Amino acid sequence: MVKIYRFQRLMIAAAVIIWAVFAGRLVYKGIKGETMDVVDTFCENVYYDISADISATGKLDNGMSDTAKKLMMTQMAKTLGLNRYNITEDETGIYLTQQSVNGSADISIKKSSTGEYFITDIELYKGFESTSDYEKLMKQVLEEYGIDTHVTVSMKGSIAGDMSQYDKSEVSGRMLKMLGAKTVTTGQIQDSYVVYAYAKSVKDSVSIGKNKINVNITMNYDETRGVTDIQLSTPIYNEDF
């Protein structure tokens, strides 16, 4: 019991430190894990407008009371080290938000025709070293409440100019090689160059047909800004599904 209690205290303390980084109050170096490999891989190949996004969406049990829902939201906030958040509620759901010059945090329960969904989204403009820690803490709360879903880590950035198909293939190929991933499928979907791959080093995965996928790269040209936006996600970008 003493060891478990000490571990819980360390996790809470780590969350507070992580959020201190997020708020720009101190510099913190996170524990290197599988998503740090994703961060390193991305930053070796993309140099501008880099940000990290850690998110999860899971369907809630219909029998959960409003009190239990709010408790789950505040528990997630506490675990992630949030302490300056605002909570609002309307007919569409309950929303917990915290903003910083270095990022944002959004935890919500949204209502839809198919049920209620618990959504957590952390965006970091700095302090990418904390990405792996946020992923682990987010998974911890989801498991505690029995929400069956995966946590998505997405690195976003841009490269100047309109990249050719050859350049896109070269950059995506380098990233996959660094991750030890094998391409499952690649192609052009509307204006986006898309790659789906599988890496044994990434624990979570989703299935598309008979194939397992846990690495997703997308690239598309932004004519207004004159840059090619690039995104590297594991196990897959949530908005694709």
Q: Say yes or no: 119 and 56 in one domain.
A: yes
Per-residue pLDDT tens for 108-161?
999 998 889 999 999 998 887 788 888 888 998 888 888 888 899 999 999 999
What is the Cα–Cα distance from 49 to 62, expressed in whole angstroms?
Answer: 40
> Average pLDDT, stretch 178-192?
92
Residue from 96, 141, 142, 122 nearest 35 by CA: 122
Q: Say yes or no: 58 and 142 in one domain.
A: yes
At which of 139, 154, 169 does a domain end? 154
Give the SS3 label for residue 102. coil
**How many structural domains does the chain have?**
2
Q: Say yes or no: 225 and 120 in one domain.
A: no
Q: Say yes or no: 111 and 39 in one domain.
A: yes
Q: Which ranges of 24-164 would DSSP assign to H, the alpha helix?
A: 34-45, 66-79, 131-144
- CATH number for the domain harbouring residue 62: 3.30.160.110
Q: Say yes or no: 150 and 214 in one domain.
A: no
Per-residue pLDDT tens for 48-80?
999 999 999 998 877 788 888 889 899 899 998
Range of the domain at 183: 158-240
Q: Say yes or no: 145 and 201 in one domain.
A: no
Q: What is the pTM of this model?
A: 0.79
Q: Say yes or no: 103 and 115 in one domain.
A: yes
Q: Say yes or no: 135 and 169 in one domain.
A: no
Q: What is the mean pLDDT of the chain?
A: 83
Q: Six-digit token pair at 104?
A: 């944002």
Q: Say yes or no: 97 and 216 in one domain.
A: no
Q: Say yes or no: 190 and 147 in one domain.
A: no
At which of 94, 126, 154 does a domain end? 154
Q: Say yes or no: 147 and 187 in one domain.
A: no
